[in-house]
Structure 1
């Protein structure tokens, strides 16, 4: 039974933005401590928590897609779920603006705010990558890759052209961190299973290449385990090329840094992640794009605002002067501490600082093989594989029996490999700031957002390395308004699966690059002006109070080099070395109606001030 309206008005309001590893754990911990004495709202674009470490097994057909998704409503009974993407935050007015899946806007008032917005694919300034590569950060991307690989093998098996057959059966993965290594390992086993049922031309075999500019695979790990992973991959026929990167991607292949051109229709981009662009517009100090917080995970100057996960730069108290890495392990533990500290600021318990002890990591290499380092003990082979699967079953917040059942069925039955055709190339662009959402044909065009700093909030002048660009054309908010700027689209000719085209209705048709670039006019908001880091100008919703509000800039492709892959966790924590699952606040698909200045704000309940959190209360 729901609480009466009077009870809701008397409870403090907590808004959590994002249901990745950090956001989900924050909601679960806070709900358990407060037991209905706080109104907890979780804003997320999907109704599930994604267990990202098992995503490569979805792409390889080992697990069904729903196995790696955990229902938010089913596992967080005292938490109100709001479907939508945060696109504006007013730190002074204490509200978050969001857009729901159908394009309608809304606003959430808060007394405490937790930003757990996660991260997005990191793009490098490599020509053609944004048009012809796909990332691996969300369920739609995994489903697309499974269909795409299946289609390429089926087309190759029916082809009479040896060159076309070899090109379609060549798969390039860039980034030899945790994600890239697992994608290549599982992908190679998947294509081997496919060609046993559909033999290719004589002399043609599926070819997988794993590239990284680093001197070895899994550079974050102990060198012994890195050698183990390298040996397993090479033993299966995966071409591991270290010290090598991609200089250009084209519709028919990629040019490597050593000058070699690889004919391929598949380019998987796993070079790492960068913080969600929403935090850049807050006008607060940043550390490499991450929001600086104190050891209690609170934002300096705004003690009612907490941040955790990939979007937060949390001081590492064990290594002074450094910050905790962007891994699922840290995000999961951030969430526990954030939940406790939010509760403490409301008078429930004591707050505590974040201290982390590395419990180890696991890397699944497919089949019974893995590389693991639980509690610092290096393991490899079948023993590491058993430890890895046992760890995942213990860490997952749901679906354990179903996951174990799928593993058993995969061991005793032939793997099913059919194209479902649910996700097309144009619906999962690499530069999307919402990898957990697939674009829908005929839906509203994505909007580009500028990144102005919030009025009344000091700009990030110290420690900030990301500059917010104010929108010169945005008038002061005086009432409801709506404006939209259509995205100029991604460059390149329409892909073979462009919505509305004849080829879009024929799953077997091939096309340029990874099934071709996205159709023109439907890109995810890349800047029309030069400079990868400059956000394109577009609509910005008005603040009801007449103040300037920070809006999310679109993810546009810059971001450093290398691979931002992490280390692994301990028990009851998300997998080793994975960046946390995408957060919830990504650019909205349509321009919402902004709230007018006459809309009254609900009265804020009386309670302890966030700048004086009570200590020792229980």
Structure 2
């Protein structure tokens, strides 16, 4: 008899933890495991702002999937663009652009999320994201290029536009991105004798009334004080009304001349979830407490793509937040449930108490709340970096990150542009490939053939 086929979609925190658990706990020959991912690495997303600011190299936060000594899992390089639960087929667009059908017996959906956008004029064409390694590397080049171009031009109006940077989104990603890149430009301007530091302007914009409300009032205000002390203008209760190539119009009527709009205003579940035709909740797949997808036999969903009930919170309708901490632990629980399903054993629900939050603002600035204990400054920075360092999966990744941190602390920043994709469109659609997915009708027609 053919061995059961386990297909895991996504190699983020959830997908990788699921695969590692399956490899450890399945008997040899008990099942075939395949993971679908466009890149053969696990991206450590919380450290992307430090890649954008040059504190860390891109390679240090991309943990190779091919370092596994077991080599039991086949890596299929591509993106899952549709699922037909009735036919038990997942359609994959490989990195060469070809479509291939992958039958499965058990499917684990951990495709993650994409940057959430709105129908704002000009946003799709002119905003830069911070969701992928390519976007972080591109953004670093772009910011340094604005300093180079401002230094080279003689038009004061153009200089003002190039030296003004706007970040939209007051969550962890936006706050850390603004803080880290502002430090980069502050240090870089010392190498540009024709530019004045006071002309460099950073704006952080968010529609919410508070910065990072998950941290609580005290730590949120502490983070806000750090940003404003550095000269970052924070505008709350405001968003973008219109974006252009050389200016951004805010909803309060202000027009900010700028060549840099960084959009980090939340995430949305991968477009893959819409292809299943099963119920969703808040845009994510509705799942049972054991993370099975109702109406889709053999399918489990977790991470950013699933609305996993939060049994610990105890509030009716509460779902787990889309954090790396939850995704990793959900991955291990789903792996156990897949094995239980293979062996005819009962599934177990997901339960996990949140361990806290950390926000690295660069240098010695940070705010953290480990196990509910509020910290700020150097102690918070030690906790934040200690948590990230410990969460890295391999000794090689830990060594690279620690070496980068030490080198940056001793030698400071460098301001080298790599020229990465400088001639290609830098849109969210281009980097995150959100237009690569099939419609539910296209998938059904394909599997019917």
In structure 1, which of residues 120, 128, 132 is the aligned counterpart of residue 126 of structure 2?
A: 132
The answer as to 2:24 corresponding to 1:28 is no
Q: Give how far 1:350 is off.
A: 5.7
Residues 127, 159 of structure 1: CA spacing in aligned structure 2 closer, same or farther, 3 A cutoff?
Answer: same
Q: Which runs of 5+ in 1 are unaligned?
A: 1-8, 440-445, 456-476, 478-541, 547-596, 598-618
Indicate the RMSD between aligned Cα atoms, in angstroms. 1.9
In structure 1, which of residues 358, 364, 379 is the aligned counterpart of residue 360 of structure 2?
A: 364
The equivalent residue for 1:422 is: 420
The equivalent residue for 1:567 is: none
- For 2:400 and 2:106, locate their aligned partners in 1 and report how far apart those are by CA, in whole Å: 36
The equivalent residue for 1:211 is: 205
Q: Give how far 1:424 is off.
A: 3.0
Matched length: 443
The equivalent residue for 2:441 is: 452
- For 1:425 and 1:347, locate their aligned partners in 2 and report how far apart those are by CA, in whole Å: 53
Conserved? CA contact 2:81–2:437, under 8 Å: no
The answer as to 2:373 corresponding to 1:377 is yes
1:99-123 per-residue CA deviation (whole Å, 9 max, x = no partner) reads 2111223222211011111111111
Residues 368, 203 of structure 1: CA spacing in aligned structure 2 closer, same or farther, 3 A cutoff?
Answer: closer
The equivalent residue for 1:236 is: 230
Q: Give how far 1:421 is off.
A: 0.9
Counterparts of residues 20-419 of structure 1 (less than 5 Å): 20-36=12-28, 37-75=30-68, 77-202=71-196, 204-317=198-311, 318-347=314-343, 351-398=347-394, 399-419=397-417
Q: Which has the higher helix share?
A: 2
Please report the TM-score for the alignment, with normalisation by the length of structure 1. Answer: 0.69
Conserved? CA contact 2:170–2:211, under 8 Å: yes
Report SS of the residue matched to 2:364.
coil
Report SS of the residue matched to 2:356.
coil
Conserved? CA contact 1:283–1:454, under 8 Å: no
Q: Give how far 1:358 is off.
A: 1.1
Q: Give how far 1:185 is off.
A: 0.3
Conserved? CA contact 2:278–2:295, under 8 Å: no
Report SS of the residue matched to 1:43.
strand
- For 2:197 and 2:104, locate their aligned partners in 1 and report how far apart those are by CA, in whole Å: 63
Report SS of the residue matched to 1:146.
helix
Q: Give how far 1:17 is off.
A: 0.7
Conserved? CA contact 1:162–1:201, under 8 Å: no
Report SS of the residue matched to 1:319.
coil
- For 2:195 and 2:370, locate their aligned partners in 1 and report how far apart those are by CA, in whole Å: 44
Q: Give how far 1:35 is off.
A: 4.3
- For 1:170 and 1:361, locate their aligned partners in 2 and report how far apart those are by CA, in whole Å: 30
Residues 202, 192 of structure 1: CA spacing in aligned structure 2 closer, same or farther, 3 A cutoff?
Answer: closer
Conserved? CA contact 1:173–1:209, under 8 Å: yes
Residues 146, 348 of structure 1: CA spacing in aligned structure 2 closer, same or farther, 3 A cutoff?
Answer: farther
Q: Give how far 1:90 is off.
A: 2.0
- For 2:14 and 2:194, locate their aligned partners in 1 and report how far apart those are by CA, in whole Å: 45
- For 2:196 and 2:416, locate their aligned partners in 1 and report how far apart those are by CA, in whole Å: 23
Conserved? CA contact 1:50–1:68, under 8 Å: yes
Q: Give how far 1:190 is off.
A: 0.4
Report SS of the residue matched to 2:268.
strand
- Is 200-209 or 63-72 further displaced after alignment? 200-209
Please report the TM-score for the alignment, with normalisation by the length of structure 2. Answer: 0.94
The answer as to 2:4 corresponding to 1:12 is yes
Report SS of the residue matched to 2:340.
helix
1:1-49 per-residue CA deviation (whole Å, 9 max, x = no partner) reads xxxxxxxx64221000111111111111111111433211000111111
Q: Give how far 1:320 is off.
A: 2.4
- For 1:151 and 1:392, locate their aligned partners in 2 and report how far apart those are by CA, in whole Å: 30
Report SS of the residue matched to 1:299.
coil
Determine which structure has greater relative contact order: mean sequence separation of CA pairs < 8 Å that are 6+ residues apart, divided by chain length.
1
Q: Give how far 1:151 is off.
A: 0.4
- For 1:124 and 1:95, locate their aligned partners in 2 and report how far apart those are by CA, in whole Å: 32
The equivalent residue for 1:480 is: none
Residues 285, 172 of structure 1: CA spacing in aligned structure 2 closer, same or farther, 3 A cutoff?
Answer: same
1:278-326 per-residue CA deviation (whole Å, 9 max, x = no partner) reads 1112111111221111111111133411111111111111322222122
Residues 48, 428 of structure 1: CA spacing in aligned structure 2 closer, same or farther, 3 A cutoff?
Answer: farther
Report SS of the residue matched to 2:252.
coil
Report SS of the residue matched to 2:300.
strand
Structure having the higher Rg: 1
Q: Give how far 1:261 is off.
A: 0.7
- Is 74-83 or 362-371 further displaced after alignment? 74-83
Report SS of the residue matched to 1:372.
strand
The equivalent residue for 1:498 is: none
